[in-house]
Every structure is written in C-alpha cells, then in structure tokens.
Structure 1
Amino acid sequence: MKWANTIRAAVATLAFATGLGATTAQAAKLGYPEKEELTFGFIKLTDMAPIAIAYEKGFFEDEGLYVTIEAQANWKVLLDGVIDGRLDGAHMLAGQPIAATMGFGTQADIITPFSMDLNGNGITVSNEIWSQMKPNIARREDGLPEHPIKADALKPVVEKYRAAGKPFNMGMVFPVSTHNYELRYWLAAGGIHPGYYAPHKGDISGQIDAEALLSVTPPPQMPATLEAGTIYGYCVGEPWNQQAVFKDIGVPVVTDYEIWKNNPEKVFGITKGFAEKYPNTTVRITRALIRAAMWLDDNNNANRPEAVKILSQSHYVGADYDVIANSMTGTFEYEKGDKRAVPDFNVFFRYNATYPYYSDAIWYMTQMRRWGQIPEDRSDDWYKELAAKVYRPDIYEAAARSLIEEGLASADQFPDFATEDGFRDPQTHFIDGIVYNGHQPNAYIDKFPIGLKSGEKL
C-alpha cells in the first residue's frame, strides 16, 4: 500500500537519524547501552508483569542495564515522571502516549516500541446492582448466567436510578485509559450513553449527556470505593476485579476479552528524546521486555504460577497469591463460585501481542473522537500519521531481529517484517458485532449508533 510504504520509508529515515537504522540493518551488532542505570515506573496491576519478569529473570542485566522499578501513585504521576525525566520509562496506558503527543491533557512527545499485553480487564458491579441485573440475564441449563453479559441487562437498572433522581456513578482509571473506552463501549452497545468530553469548551468531565456518570478512581482503590457505595461499578485491570469477588462486595459481569477479543492493553512508554539520545539502550530495553513476554507465555503459560508468586510481593502488585492466580493462570471467577476457563484472559506474547501495531493506536483515537476528546473531524491520514509518530515498530523490529540472530528467538514468533505494514486484518470480535478496519477510521466511527459522527461537534 502506498501509505504504508511511505510511512515505512519515513520511519527508516528517522531510525537512521537516531542511530537505530544501523541496528535494524545489522541486528546482531548491538552497541553498548549509552545509559546503563535506569528507573522504570508502574501501577500495581498484573499487566506490569513484563517489567517485573525482565528484572527478576535477569533479562535487563543480560542487556547491561541496571534497573530500579518503582510503583507510582496514579497514572498522571507516572506520566509526569516520564516527561520530567524522573522515570526513564514506564508501564503506560496505551492512550497516554497518543494523548500526550496529540496534546490532550498535556503536551509531550511520548513513543512506544513495545505493546505489553492483550486483554486483562473486567467490568465489576456491586452486589446490589448485580441483584437488579440478574432478572434480565439469560441462564444456561446449569443455572449459571449466559456470557457475555451485555449492558442491555444494566439499562433498566440505570433508567430506574435516573427516574428516582439518583446519578448512576461508575469508575474507570483515567480519561485516556483502555478501561474508559471499554466501559464506554460496553455501555453504549447496550444503549446507555456514557457522556461526551468537550475540551475545546473547557469541559473534561466526560459527562455531557451522560446516562451513566464515569469518573476516575486509581486501580487499587476500586474495591474500597465500590464497597463504600461511591460508585456502583467499575472497569479495571486485574487483580482488582477478582479482589471484589474475594471480598464478596461485587460481581465481575464481563471481561474485555468478551468486549473485544484480544484487544491491546498497556504499552511501555518512553520519551522520543530518550530514544534519540540513547538508541542502543532503547533497543536493549525492548529486547529484555520481549524476552520477558516470551517467558510469561512459554509452554502454554507453564511459568504463570512462578509469575504470580513474583507479582504477589508487596513491591509489585501486592495482592494475595490466590487473587492474582484467579485470572493470571487461565481462569476467571465471575459470581462467587462461577469460575470459568479463560486461557487468554492475560496474553503477553502470543498473537503478536508485543508488536506495536499502528491500527491499535488508531482504534484508541477513534474512541477519543467518538466521545469528544478529539473535538473535530480529522482525515484518515491524520490518524495514520499520528499513530506512526507514537508507535515505533522500527525499534521493535531491531530488537526482534537481534534476538533471532542470537538464537534467543525464532522468526516464526514474530510478524513477517518484510511484509508487515502495521495494520491488523479487520477485526470482527466485538460485543456489538461492528467490524473495525484501521485503514478506515472515519467510516468506523460513523457506524456507532451512540457517539459523535462525521461533521458533528459539541
């Protein structure tokens, strides 16, 4: 495709200018890391696992990197730390590098050479809300609920609360988080309007015309906020959905795997300036993270119990082993006692999970436009060009090729770099049946019954 070839050429030029071009051409001849002592940030979620495993299994040290890993209070503190240089890189929401580069919330050139995982989130409601939803949910022969549970079952509950003059409050972790967009997607697919943003008018609440009011709550605080009755439900990553089950305060009703099968989740974010100043270090970080992701998925997840033990430590996720294992080892518990096999709930390497696809970035931007965070129409090329500024498969390819040449990985474990254009095939596994084609973002946005369309502006 003409556009893909143009982007590939532009990326190759940029890679050469930053010192990455030589690494791509001769992948095995890696230079020494320009910066050896590094500090990485993370939020206490199981999908930070590649960073923890790269540290604990010595993959960073193999690259000559001496890494300190620090938990951060929330996503804003984490992003600010990367921007101001307190952190050299971090486990980030996929929307954060995109929004920063775009100038939504803050302005900074953040890039990602590595996608950290697929899936891993869920939507949980309080026991009280669950009891009101249950009459609206079909049952299997064994009496257990049919899955996926759609927001259609929640809609009468929301309508009842609104008729009584009660706001229906729900939590998500950050305005540009996957969780925000997944919760909005699920609600809207069930006919519940989650509200618009109007940053050009100074309204960043995201609650314009909302039938369900979404607000920010840090992930580890989700269960306590639900238990206090401040919110009636939330969308968050693990282990904070399973924590609600263990504490008997809520019921996870749907996973993001059921909303969008094998959806991209977190990324590893660094500044563009860091990649330009330290190109060898950047490739070596990516190599270590790829090896960690491979280890996490190796031999049909055989290493997951060891990974759970590592993550349960207080300086990583800090939840009980059993809580983390409930999802990390291939199962997921919905209503208490209703544990089902979900082998792909957490995916770290298979299905090309670590490759930074342009189409993944573009999907996030379509949802930003749908809900008003991008207030005006943009051309399809605008979406593609912004994606190519943020997602850096050239760096990923340099790292992967060097691993292949050293015998630490095989070519069949990665995309075919000779033909890969950065776009997944059209994706069909959404809860509302709408097909996503990353080459046609505007046509995709216009398919949704609820959300801004072409030519619309608040």
Structure 2
Amino acid sequence: MTAPAAASDRPLRLGYLPLVDCAPLVAAVRLGLDRRYGLRLQLQRQASWAAVRDRLLSGELDAAHALAGLVYGVETGIGGPKGELAILSTLNQNGQAITLSSQLARSLEQGLSLRDALASLRRPAVFAQTFPTGTHAMWLYYWLAAQGIDPMREIRILTLPPTQMPEALARGELDGYCAGEPWSMQAELAGVGRRVIRSGTIWPGHPEKVLACRREFAALQPDAAIALTATVLDACRWLDADMRHRREAARWLADSQVIALPARDIEACLLPADGDGQTQLRFHADGQANFPWLSDGLWFLAQFRRWGWLPPALDGEDAALIGRVHRIDSYRQAAQRIGVPVPDGDSRAHRLFDETS
C-alpha cells in the first residue's frame, strides 16, 4: 500500500501492559512497520489497566493495548469514569489462564468439586482479576458460575495488576486468579500454583486484547486511525506467519523495558500449547482473530447485565452502543490496504465450554 501521511509530526503514544499479548505493538516498532505506514509509534509501559483507562481518557495516550471488557466498561460507566472509546481491531485471541493455589489444584485433581475444594479452606475464598469489567473478570466469573459458584456472593474478589498476582498467591493472600501470560506461568515456575483451565478452553477463539483509542481520535484523525490499524494488523500477521517470528518476539519482550523476564519463559507462552488451533494464542489467523466482531461486544454487555451491573437493555440499545465503539469501516479499509481478508458479515457464532449449542 502507499503509506498515508502521518496526522502530525509528533509520535503516536501507545500504552501497553507487560504481557505476551502486547507483542503486536512491540513487533510493529521493532520491525519499523509504523514508518512503512507513515507513523511514528512511541510505546509507553503502564502499571495497571486503570492507568491505561485514565491516560486514554485524558489524552496522554493516543491508543493502547487494552482489555476488550475495559472499553465496554468505560463506555457504560461501570465502576469508574465514563468516556467514549473505540476499538480499532482485536489484537489476539486466547492466551489467558485461571490459576489456583497448589492446594486447591490438588483437590480438583483428586476429584473434589470446586465447591468442596473451596469449602475445605474454611473461609471465604479470595480470587483476583485485573480490571472489574475486563476479560479476566469475565472468564473467571463465567468459569465459577458454570460450576455452581456465585462469584458475586460466595467469594471475595480483588483487582490487582497481573505482575503482582504470583507473589500474592505465594504469600497466601490469594487462592486463585485469572491473568494473561506470562503471569500464570510464573506461579507454576515458582511452585505456588497451577493453571487449571486456559481461557481458550472456556471460549475457543475468544477476543482478548484490543487496539483501543478515544472515539474523538478515530473520528477526527481517520487517516491516522486507519494507518495505525494497518500497522498493528501487519504486525499480527507477522507473528502468526512463522513460529520463528514468535521466538524473535520473545527476545524483544524479555527486554527490561517490556516484560523483564527470561526470554525462554516468554517463548513458552508464545509458542503453541497443547490443544487445537482454536484454543491457542492467536494473533492473526488470516484476519479472523483481528476483526472487531460486533457479536463479541454484545456478549460482554450480556455478561454485564448477568452480574447486575446494567439494567435490562431497551430494544436495540446494546447493538447501537457496540456499533459506536467498534470501528468496522476503518478496520475494513486498513485490512484492504494490506491485503488481509475480511468477512462478509460483522457478527459470528460463538460457543463456550459449558454450552451445548
């Protein structure tokens, strides 16, 4: 494609958390893809998802690697400031896990139900997620509810940055958590917990992190938004094209300014784990992993209502909200420019692990 002119002389500031699925942003800069599409990207590591939210809303960040559920939480004003954000594309599918303490994991291996395992603690169980409306909260709550545990009433829930979770588990402050890699693996390496289910098993091919920005940016700088989408989409394609690319990305992510863990640990999270392609970490999958499916957003809003965070929807209300948030048109333009196939429709079917149809 012909590179569009950059919207301004200053670099675009992109926020990220130290997780393996920030790889598309890191790869885009390391490969110089931003310059190919007329941009200069400046990556800025953030301490928490709340910091990502606040700096997006204030304009300190132009865009960010963000939890899909964070965007909908900000749009609806659940538990924090309300604002108008947009999803330019999905960055990856799958790649998260629910980790339990070694004691609880052994109880499940011995055949106890989750309810009986939690009862053996003789106190309310404490679990952590990374943001109240984020994807990790949704996977954790869905998994608990599928086993008859009411996550709103029967356990204590904490919000922690993912980097702090393995140590909190080791200190006995947590009984389990849901987080992105490499922070679930770190509990196993330290011998303090075990991954009991991966998010791709809960919902094969689920949306996870997204490329988010303010809607004002997407509306007032459409060329820059399309160029940014194309840049990151090209990086996602590169990551899925060859496993050697992921090994190279692991070395970049190991840098002290990104994740600051051994490259071999990060590589183990980036390379395919056991299971079929639908349940493994995917960055591109011929564009299927990147398309901002409207139906994905509707699922999150349905979960928000399930947990009592939103009142019943008026006719067409949720569809209108998701239509404002998902920048389908700009994604299609970016994909067309770099030769990534796009679907005919804007929605897809999904099937979670406890559903029969």
Matched pairs, number: 353
For 2:350, give the aligned amino acid.
Answer: Q
Tell me, yes or no, if the aligned pair for 1:189 and 1:431 is still in contact at 8 Å. Answer: no
Q: Distance in 2 between matches of 1:49 and 1:327?
A: 12
For structure 2, the 5+ residue unaligned runs are: none
SS of the equivalent of 1:101 reads helix
For the structure 1 residues 314 and 96, does the alpha-carbon distance in structure 2 shift closer, same or farther, using more than 3 Å as the test? same
Partner of 1:354: 290
Q: Does the 8 A contact of 2:128 with 2:160 survive in 1?
A: yes
Q: Match of 2:118?
A: 158
Contact 1:94–1:177, Cα closer than 8 Å, also in 2? yes
Aligned 8 A contact 2:4 2:227 in 1: no
Show CA shifts across 1:346-399 (max 9, x none): 10000611111111111111111111121x110351111111010111010111
| Closer, same or farther: CA 322–29 of 1 in aligned 2, 3 Å | closer
Within the candidate set 112, 130, 136, 1:179 is matched to 136
Q: Does structure 1 residue 48 correspond to structure 2 residue 22?
A: yes
- For residues 355 and 362 of structure 1, the distance between their equivalents in structure 2, rounded to whole angstroms, comes to 15
The answer to whether the 8 A contact 1:30-1:280 is kept is no
Residue 357 of structure 1 aligns to which amino acid in structure 2?
Answer: W
Scaled by the length of structure 1, what TM-score is found?
Answer: 0.74
SS in 2 for 1:167: coil
- 8 Å CA contact 1:115, 1:268 repeated in 2: yes
Q: Equivalent residue for 2:102?
A: 127
- How far has the Cα of 1:184 moved from its partner? 0.4
User: 1:83-122 maps to which residues of 2 (within 5 A)?
Assistant: 83-104=57-78, 105-122=80-97
Alpha-carbon distance in structure 2 between the residues aligned to 1:380 and 1:261: 29
Paired position in structure 2 for 1:386 = 321
| Cα distance in 2, alignment partners of residues 232 and 380 from structure 1 | 40
Q: Which of 302, 306, 311 matches 2:253?
A: 311
Instruction: State the Cα deviation string for residues 15-46 of structure 1 (Å, max 9, x = none).
Output: xxxxxxxxxxxxx6764121241111111111
Q: Is the 8 A contact 1:328 1:345 kept in 2?
A: no
Does structure 2 retain, via aligned residues, the 8 Å contact 1:158–1:212?
no
Match of 2:299 among 352, 359, 363: 363
Q: Is residue 350 of structure 2 the alignment partner of residue 423 of structure 1? A: no
Corresponding residue for 1:446? none
Between 1:183-192 and 1:342-351, the stretch displaced more is 342-351
Please list, as runs of the form range in 1=range in 2, the aligned pairs for 1:402-413 lying within 5 A after superposition. 402-404=337-339, 413=340
Secondary structure (helix, strand or coil) at the match of 1:50 reads helix
2:20–2:181 contact (8 Å) kept in structure 1: yes
Is the aligned partner of 1:77 residue 2:37?
no
Query: 2:138 & 2:356 partners in 1: Cα distance?
Result: 15
RMSD of aligned Cα (Å) = 1.6
Matched with 2:7 is 34
- Residues 284-339 of structure 1 show CA distances to partners (whole Å, capped at 9, x for unaligned) of 1011001000000004x3411111111111111222212212221112xxxxxxxx
Which structure has the bigger radius of gyration? 1
CA contact (8 A) 2:4 2:37 kept: no
Aligned to 2:197, which of 254, 263, 276?
A: 254
CA contact (8 A) 2:98 2:176 kept: yes
Identical residues among aligned pairs (%): 29
Asked if residue 216 in structure 1 is aligned to residue 190 in structure 2, the reply is: no
Distance 2:108 2:102 in 1: 10
Q: CA deviation at 1:103?
A: 2.2
TM-score w.r.t. the length of structure 2 is 0.95
